[in-house]
Structure 1
């Protein structure tokens, strides 16, 4: 059974029309932004009650309403791993042709449903306000979804340059959340060569559930510069073979030594929207033949790109939806995370989080 790694390192078209900024005063929108990518999850209970969601929130200042389109994965109906539709070429996945063997040329996996249109749609009303959070008065947005049972969310709003961040405060449904918004249309996305060349440090914040319970929050970084971009001019995927490290995979593979490299793949899923998917697994879990791909409990992480007002790539929000292939719900791996270049203000107070050195441990 695979052990979860905190590493640094995730086509059908989603019918989301381009959206111009709402014609209203910026103060009528959270942080002055209308279009948000958001991940949420319930990561606390005994299995099989946990779930994750990933999608888009659109705020309309004129009507004071918000609409959402989200993907939903849960332990009651565990989803299988499927191909994302991308198999990297030998330029970035040489496998057995490299000496020593490099990234294996495998179909990049994601979670079932992510290649399709988001199936959840809901509407609600929102209200901007403020409340005392971590000892200071902070701007907030409260959402009341028009659902059969009461469903509310409260987020702290942190305005930034060309972007706004939503920090999870509370919800009647979720225990964790991440969100970023701008006035760029949801159809805007950046190619992988742009992602790899992104200079600002990308920060990781992760809340996760595994081994039958919620795990301590994790922080770290993501080293996009370590990846190799695939496909020449059509830069829609990239890969990385993490070098051997004794602490990486020995325990997860039931061995103290051997191949401790990790196979990383990141590819687009949506051609005309923000969907990417992240896939990784310990090399030692697959047969020694460097042409063989792993088909067990690998990590599948659907993500949405964060794009600011100037159409610049700023990172991702995402979820992990890795369900046990053996049907053991306590072996499911679920998570809610952000990997973005958003700087952490000194005054920002966060719960104590377990530190990881870089994206290679996510």
Structure 2
């Protein structure tokens, strides 16, 4: 596990003081109405380039949702900030306009439940492009903290985001989207000083306890988004109700052989940080389906029906000590079957 310590921050400060850097572009400064003052508030001084890390933390997992029907989109990302005032992004991006159907857009992860320990053997799928070993798309930019305390990011290509920073817990920083110039409607993020070469096992996830602090926005083929938050949400991750199928898969522990049209809830979460390449250790793969939907998708299956299932892409929220605290997620269920092309963004953390 790699962490940024006070000593390493001090060393970085010594390396960067004395060099030159330009602040945000004039366009972005104009949007804040007092750009020069804002730039100074984010740096060590008028002549320095030591930027304040957002919330004092360098590594953030982020989910975003925006756009308009029929091309709404979601983006799941890892942001890395530096004390030089730069930020890089590793991300996956999905849109309602993506080609393909329930078969071509849902791909095998290589993880499976076990009949010996979880009643049946079933594959766990994910959205195409998010399966283990698939490279991230990347983006780079600069950031600063404006006079209102907002985190402002200017990405290459002219895209800008502004985030509200908060500290609901001492061991991580939370982000909530404030504004953007490219149609972001909903956005969440959590940051710490544990890097992206660190992840936890499904056994650790299951042992964490219920993730009760839940908030998400979802959309299918209709134009309007629907908001759900706990305690009105009844599908939050009750990890105490899961069972360990194999070392890489946990499953909601419910009766399996229930005939249609009973709404049995099949839910799998898979992942193995030891098998993921560097920079992918935080990834987990969630697939779930209500039994009643499975019936509509072609009849009762002991597993999630071949053309069905909701696909949630997860990135682990880890605190400064690498302790698992929950998930940032994005749904990209892209097909033409029951429910249509469903997108969502999630945050699920332990209270």
1:240 corresponds to which of 252, 269, 291: 252
1:244-255 equivalent positions in 2, closer than 5 A: none
The number of residues matched between the two structures is 290
Aligned residue among 334, 337, 340 for 1:331: 340
| 2:244 pairs with one of 229, 232, 238 | 229
Residue 31 of structure 1, aligned match among 55, 63, 70: 55
Q: TM-score scaled to structure 2, two decimals? A: 0.75
C-alpha distance in 1 between matches for 2:142 and 2:300: 55
The answer for the alignment partner of 2:89 in structure 1 is: 68
**Higher-RCO chain (CA-CA 8 Å, sequence separation at least 6):** 1
Aligned to 1:85: 110
Q: Is the 8 A contact 1:92 1:238 kept in 2?
A: no
Question: Match of 1:7?
Answer: none
Equivalent of 1:187, from 157, 172, 197? 197
Q: CA deviation at 1:289?
A: 6.1
- Could you tell me how far 1:324 is from its partner in structure 2? 1.8
Give 1:311's aligned residue: 322
The Cα of 1:204 is off from its aligned counterpart by 1.2
Partner of 2:145: 128
* Counterpart for residue 20 of structure 2: none
**Aligned mates of 2:321, 2:136 — CA distance in 1:** 29
Matched, 1:261 2:264: yes
Which position in structure 1 is the counterpart of 2:163?
A: 155
SS in structure 2 of the partner of residue 85 of structure 1: strand
Is it true that 1:46 corresponds to 2:61 in the alignment? no
Query: CA contact under 8 A between 2:209 and 2:239: conserved in structure 1?
Result: no
User: Aligned residue for 2:122?
Assistant: 106
> Does the 8 A contact of 1:240 with 1:264 survive in 2?
yes
The CA deviation at 1:122 is 0.9
**8 Å contact kept, 2:189–2:328:** yes
Change (3 A) 1:212 1:291: closer
For the 8 Å contact 1:202–1:315, the answer to whether it is kept is no
Shift in Å, 1:114: 0.3
- The structure that is helix-richer by fraction is 2
Whether 1:209 aligns to 2:234 is no
1:6 is aligned to: none
Measure, in 1, the Cα distance between the counterparts of 2:333 and 2:214: 19
Counterparts of 1:180 and 1:196, CA distance in 2: 20
Residues 176/118 of structure 1: CA separation in 2 closer, same or farther (3 Å cut)? farther
Is the alpha carbon distance of 1:290 and 1:199 closer, same or farther for their aligned partners in structure 2, counting shifts above 3 Å?
closer
CA separation of 1:314 and 1:126: change in aligned 2, threshold 3 A: same
Where do 5+ consecutive residues of structure 1 fail to align? 1-16, 96-104, 132-138, 344-362
Distance across 1 between alignment mates of 2:309 and 2:210: 29
| Superposition TM-score, scaled by structure 1 size | 0.73
> Is the Cα–Cα contact under 8 Å of residues 238 and 265 in structure 1 kept in the other structure?
yes
Q: Say if 1:34 and 1:183, in contact at 8 Å, map to a contact too.
A: yes
In structure 2, the partner of 1:347 is none
Aligned to 2:289: 281
Kept after mapping to 1: 8 A contact 2:211/2:348: no
Aligned mates of 2:303, 2:287 — CA distance in 1? 16
Q: Distance in 2 between matches of 1:239 and 1:201?
A: 15
State the alpha-carbon separation in 1 of the partners of residues 255 and 306 from structure 2.
Answer: 21
Distance 1:306 1:337 in 2: 12
Residues 1:176 and 2:186 aligned together: yes
Larger radius of gyration: 2
SS in 2 for 1:213: coil
Q: Which moved more, 1:33-42 or 1:277-286?
A: 277-286
Structure 2 alignment gaps of length 5 or more: 14-43, 45-49, 231-235
Match of 2:81 in 1: 59
